[in-house]
Amino acid sequence: MKLLSLFAVVCFLYQCASDPGDGLVFTHILFRHGERNILTPYGPNDPFADVKTYWPEGYGQLTSEGRRQQYELGEYLAKRYKNLIGENGYHKNNIYVRSTDVDRTLMSAAHTLAGMFPPLGKQAWNKDLGRKWQAIPIHTVPEVDDYVLYTIRPCPKYKTSYKAIFDTPEVEAVDREHAGLFKELTKFTGNPITKMSQIHLLYQTLEIEKSKGLNISQWAKNLVYKGSAMEKLINRKFGFYAKTKEMAKMRPGYLLKEILERFSKKANKTLDPDRSMYIYSAHDTTIAHVLNALNLYSKIWEPHSPPYSACVFFELHRNKGKYHIEIYYKSEQGRDKKPLQPLKLLCGTKCPLDEFYRLYSDIIPTRDYDIECKLN
């Protein structure tokens, strides 16, 4: 069905939503996994490269603190969405869970579910939880095929557009400005570093090693702190994900399309199964793509690295038979220091469903992924 036709259907069917019970009726939850180990040593000079000694769970694996963070998130979601979950707890026809095909996100999903449905007790973030929660299906798509969450599937047009950002005079000027820093990083790591695009993994690795209390050099400690030059470069890089409308369409566009199509079916009473909640366990880049695509980084926050367990909530609300979307971003762990406020979209904080379609239609793909990603 063409996009404009779908707008018309949504608008027309506002009138049929006459059953009682206004309020929140449907939600999609996208979160980043909990705390993890380093993905890989930052270079041949990394003194903490040995897995058995320093990273017993394995490279990139969820830590015990990450398991606790996700369990805590599950408790938060259970309270926030108590009415959608209902008294009977988990049921596959009410809640759908999907994760990228990576251990840390799969385990994050399992521990989040344990916090939402806690028959395992307060220590449910133990290492065996993944096996105990096999009764709840967590759906995955192989990494090479996943273009909705993990976005690792090749997309030549996106790759070209993303690379072009780093070739702009603006970014080249930033690289020249930090040439001295890059020279020092090259000496420190043993790897050649000449551009801001090369320091993302290095910064995350140093940040994790520091947080673990490892005895990193004072020189490295001086690089890793809030407001440091390296952090500012990394945060700036996060602002480049889905920076243009074309890039947004190729990456988070397919996730947004999936969510909006379900919202429309919910409003039209054609959603089958008629679920109340979809949960996505993914990555910091997934969240950055979404926030950039909706133009929220520049309007609400400065670009930043979404922290562990960060969440984006897409909510469908009904008010006097009409439907609107509210989107929330939870960047704090645990309880909110102050109640979350809906983000201000192009159509306001309570965006009518058809208006959302109209204003964001330029980032919602209408073609097959491989066709959309093909270079002209």
Residues 148 and 297: their CA atoms lie apart, in Å, by 20
Question: Per the confidence metrics, is the pTM higher than 0.75?
Answer: yes
Taking 80 as the threshold, does the pLDDT of residue 317 lie above it? yes
> What local confidence, expressed as pLDDT, does residue 94 receive?
96
Determine the Cα angle at 274 with ends 272 and 277, to 5°: 120
pLDDT of the residue at 218: 86
Report pLDDT for 153: 87
Question: What pLDDT, on the 0 to 100 scale, is given for residue 133?
Answer: 54
pLDDT range class, residue 134, cuts 50, 70, 90? low
Chain CA centroid to CA 268, Å: 28
Q: Coil, strand or helix: which one is 69?
A: helix
So what's the pLDDT on residue 315?
A: 98
Average pLDDT over residues 257-277: 97
Domain 3-151+242-371, second-level architecture = 3-Layer(aba) Sandwich (3.40)
Instruction: Report H helices in 224-352.
Output: 229-238, 245-250, 252-268, 284-293, 297-300
Q: What is the pLDDT of residues 327-362, one digit of tens each?
A: 999 998 887 778 899 999 999 999 999 999 999 999
CA distance 264 to 268: 6
Of residues 33, 111, 283, 317, which has the active-site annotation?
Answer: 33
pLDDT at 365: 96
User: pLDDT tens for residues 171-207?
Assistant: 999 999 999 999 999 998 899 999 998 999 999 999 9
Q: Name the residue ranges covered by the structural domains of the chain.
A: 3-151+242-371, 156-237
- pLDDT score for 118: 75
Q: Among 26-30, 141-145, 200-204, where is mean pLDDT lowest? A: 141-145
Residue 4 pLDDT greater than 80, yes or no: no
- pLDDT of 2: 47
- Which strands make up the sheet holding 95-99, listed edge to edge? 95-99, 277-282, 23-32, 311-319, 322-330, 351-352
Q: Assess whether 283 carries a catalytic annotation.
A: no
For residue 284, indicate whether it is catalytic. Answer: yes
Give per-residue pLDDT as tens, 65-120. 999 999 999 999 999 999 999 888 889 999 999 999 999 999 999 999 999 987 64
Element (H, E) at 115: helix 103-116
What is the mean predicted confidence (pLDDT) over 235-251?
92
For residue 123, pLDDT over 70 is answered with no
Best-predicted range by mean pLDDT among 11-20, 28-37, 223-232, 330-339? Answer: 28-37
**Backbone CA torsion sign across 163, 169, 172, 173:** negative
Check 284, 304, 317, 324 and give the catalytic one. 284
SS (H, E, C) 127-184: CCHHHHCCCCCCECCCHHHCCCCCCCCCCHHHHHHHHHHHCCHHHHHHHHHCHHHHHH
pLDDT of 143 reads 86
